[in-house]
Structure 1
Amino acid sequence: MDSWVRFNSQSQAKEKVFRAAQYSCMLLGSTLTKSRAASDLQRIVSDLEAHMSLTRKLLRLGNSVEALQAAKRAIHLSDGVLRLCITIAHLNRAMYFACDNVLWAGKTGIISKLDHHKWSQRSFRYYLFALILNVTRNVYEVCLLLDGEDRCRSTKLSSSPSDVLPDDRLSSSSAVPATSPPALMFARLRRLMGQVGAVLYNNPPLLLDLLKNSCDIFIPLDKLGLYRTGPAFVGTCGLLSSVLSIVTMLHPWLKLKP
């Protein structure tokens, strides 16, 4: 089992390269359609995209095994929220890869009379649910880091001596003009966004994973018809998330753990 996982991890790098090429073809095909380029060129790009997709499906054969192994490891996490999100996300990824393998068998003729639309929709539903759980995990980790910073800041404030007497604080606060509720809410929102930005900036793996999942989630939303964005936007999101995945493979310390 472990030897298969190691072998499969090598093919994943190739799959990400083909994924970037596939969504580049999708983006290029959309651009050619808008610019009303020659139909022969559009057909060549479309065929190339289809071949890239079929090659990716071939490289993903057996990925369900790795996803199940990852789910088994995630069961032992101490944090309940992370354990739930990561485990169920890996299980949905395993089902997504299984449906993808069936689609590959149907497109290559191994399984005849396969309902490609039905299986494609089924695979994208599993993919979407896995991405939703991944984004939930990212937001939860951001909240944990923000809570840790708030507690650290409150500890420093309580431990530092104050040179201002209570009466001085009262007089100084009474001299401050009252702020309207909308302005106060905007100030709090701006402070929160600044804290989130600082947390993500100081945690590159979390930032890259959040960006990758946020880009990927538009792909199943478009394919399932839940939120139509068009091939140009889907191609851009797919290309960006593929590049981010390749970066995390080239630099393993940028991969979010666990």
Structure 2
Amino acid sequence: MDSWVRFNAQSQAKERIFRAAQYACTLLGYTLQKGGAGVEVLKMVKQLEAHMSLTRKLMRLGNSAEAVEAAKRAVHLSDSVLRLCLTVAHLNRAMYFACDNVLWAGKSGLLPQLDQDKWSQRSFRYYLFALILNLTRDAYEIRLLMEREARSSHSGSKATWTSSPSPSPLENNELSHSSLPSLPPTVLALLSQRLSRQFRVLVTVLRSNPPLLLDLLKNSCDVFIPLDRLGIYPTGQGFVGACGLVSSLLSILTIVHPWLKLKP
């Protein structure tokens, strides 16, 4: 099992390159169709996309074992939310890869009687649920980091306030007579200030955590693919191709620079 997991880890970069090429073909086909390209050109791009997809499915044979091993490791996490999200997400990935392997057998002719549409829909459902759990994990980690950042900022401002000299009673008296009565802020202004403050904290958190930012962007791009394939939120081939290409490039970046991969 361990040797098979190591072998799959070595082939991930190649699979991601083929994935980027596949969605680049999807985007190219959409662009050519909008530009009024000929039928033969569109057919050639479509066939190239199908070959890329079939090659990727061949490379993913046995990836279910790796997903199951990742689920076993996630069970031992101390954080209950991360443990639940990651364990269930990896199990759904394992089911997605298993359905994908069956679909590859059908497309390659090993299972000619296979209902490919049914298995494709089934695999995309598992894929969508795994992505939703991954996005939930990202949102949870962002919330924890934002709370930590807010606490540290509050502690720093509180220390600055306590260290600053307090005005004398005479100054307080002068200020109370000279200052004009302030109007109470509206609810909309308070809400705007709070949202602005939360947005600044969010930007600070994401800028200081590139792995979390990349994982959030990658999962956000990927989620539109099963949503479109399942007919839940149709976006069109062009948008799906662009999202798949961007997420593939981000995945390749995390493989080239392992420190950018979100852990655990």
User: TM-score, normalised on structure 1?
Assistant: 0.95
- How far apart are residue 179 of structure 1 and its match? 2.2
1:212 and 2:218 correspond: yes
1:115 counterpart residue number: 115
- How far apart are residue 185 of structure 1 and its match? 1.0
Residues 184/106 of structure 1: CA separation in 2 closer, same or farther (3 Å cut): same
Residues 6/178 of structure 1: CA separation in 2 closer, same or farther (3 Å cut): same
2:166 counterpart residue number: 164
Quick one: which of 225, 246, 255 aligns to 2:261? 255
- How far apart are residue 193 of structure 1 and its match? 1.2
d(CA) in 2 for partners of 1:42 and 1:49? 11
- How far apart are residue 173 of structure 1 and its match? 9.6
1:240 counterpart residue number: 246
1:2 counterpart residue number: 2
d(CA) in 2 for partners of 1:252 and 1:87? 22
Which amino acid in the other structure matches residue 77 of structure 2?
Answer: L
The alignment partner of 2:185 has SS state of coil
| 1:3-42 map, 5 Å | 3-42=3-42
Residue range with higher mean Cα deviation, 45-54 or 107-116: 107-116
Structure 1 or 2, whichever has the larger Rg, is 2
1:152 counterpart residue number: 152
d(CA) in 2 for partners of 1:240 and 1:153? 34
User: TM-score, normalised on structure 2?
Assistant: 0.93
* Runs of at least 5 residues in structure 2 that lack an aligned partner in the other structure: none
Query: Between Structure 1 and Structure 2, how many residues are aligned?
Result: 257
2:235 counterpart residue number: 229
d(CA) in 2 for partners of 1:132 and 1:209? 13
d(CA) in 2 for partners of 1:140 and 1:237? 23
- How far apart are residue 156 of structure 1 and its match? 3.1
Which amino acid in the other structure matches residue 236 of structure 2?
Answer: G
- How far apart are residue 11 of structure 1 and its match? 1.2
- How far apart are residue 174 of structure 1 and its match? 7.6
Residues 166/238 of structure 1: CA separation in 2 closer, same or farther (3 Å cut): farther
d(CA) in 2 for partners of 1:48 and 1:112? 22
d(CA) in 2 for partners of 1:67 and 1:122? 17
1:49 and 2:49 correspond: yes
2:71 counterpart residue number: 71
- How far apart are residue 35 of structure 1 and its match? 1.0
The alignment partner of 1:5 has SS state of helix
d(CA) in 2 for partners of 1:233 and 1:149? 35
| 1:183-194 map, 5 Å | 183-194=189-200
d(CA) in 2 for partners of 1:242 and 1:130? 17
* Runs of at least 5 residues in structure 1 that lack an aligned partner in the other structure: none
Residues 115/182 of structure 1: CA separation in 2 closer, same or farther (3 Å cut): same
Which amino acid in the other structure matches residue 248 of structure 1?
Answer: T
Asked whether the equivalents of residues 150 and 201 of structure 2 are also in contact (C-alpha less than 8 Å), the reply is no
d(CA) in 1 for partners of 2:168 and 2:5? 64
- How far apart are residue 180 of structure 1 and its match? 1.8
1:105 counterpart residue number: 105
- How far apart are residue 166 of structure 1 and its match? 11
Which amino acid in the other structure matches residue 193 of structure 2?
Answer: A
- How far apart are residue 102 of structure 1 and its match? 0.2
- How far apart are residue 151 of structure 1 and its match? 2.0
d(CA) in 1 for partners of 2:32 and 2:119? 29
Residues 65/174 of structure 1: CA separation in 2 closer, same or farther (3 Å cut): farther
Residues 176/114 of structure 1: CA separation in 2 closer, same or farther (3 Å cut): same
Residues 16/174 of structure 1: CA separation in 2 closer, same or farther (3 Å cut): farther
1:77-108 deviation per Cα after TM superposition (whole angstroms, max 9, x unaligned) = 00000000001000000000000000000011
- How far apart are residue 109 of structure 1 and its match? 1.0
Cα RMSD for the two superposed structures = 1.8
Which amino acid in the other structure matches residue 257 of structure 2?
Answer: H
